[in-house]
Structure 1
Amino acid sequence: MDNWRKSSYSGPDDGNACVEIADSPTRTAVRDSKAPGRATLTFPAPAFTTFLEALKQDPRPCC
């Protein structure tokens, strides 16, 4: 997976302190933007979609 992208919430002040994701039709990978050469977590695409939907339902602010 080579198409890594940062969250749209990553602004100029905190752009180096976020996660990046890359996806394919079957998998989604997540890594730390500060250490892209280190460990990467990979999830089946349906599981990652479920995770994102759960985050959208959480009333607590993320940042």
Structure 2
Amino acid sequence: MDLSATAWRKSSKSSGNGGQCVEVAADPVGVVAVRDSKSRSGPMILVSHGEWRAFIGAVKTGDHVI
């Protein structure tokens, strides 16, 4: 999957000194990609929009600790 033209986002809570961060990109065809900000050409995790919303919801409620 080519996401080279996709806008990647990093949390505003991430430090600006190259800390350990993940970046997220939402593809319009229904896929959310997650990658390591230090290895942008490395592997990605691909999940559906529904799976991503469920994950974020669980993190916000404390049901999933990261």
Q: TM-score, normalised by structure 1?
A: 0.81
- Report percent identity of matched pairs: 35
Encode CA deviations 1:6-56: one digit per residue, 9 max, x unaligned: 11111224x431000000241100000000000011101100100000000
Unaligned runs of 5+ in 1: none
How many pairs were matched up? 60
Q: Distance in 2 between matches of 1:24 and 1:4?
A: 10
Higher relative contact order (Cα pairs below 8 Å, separated by 6+ residues): 1
Unaligned runs of 5+ in 2: none
Cα RMSD (Å) of the superposition? 2.0
Q: TM-score, normalised by structure 2?
A: 0.77
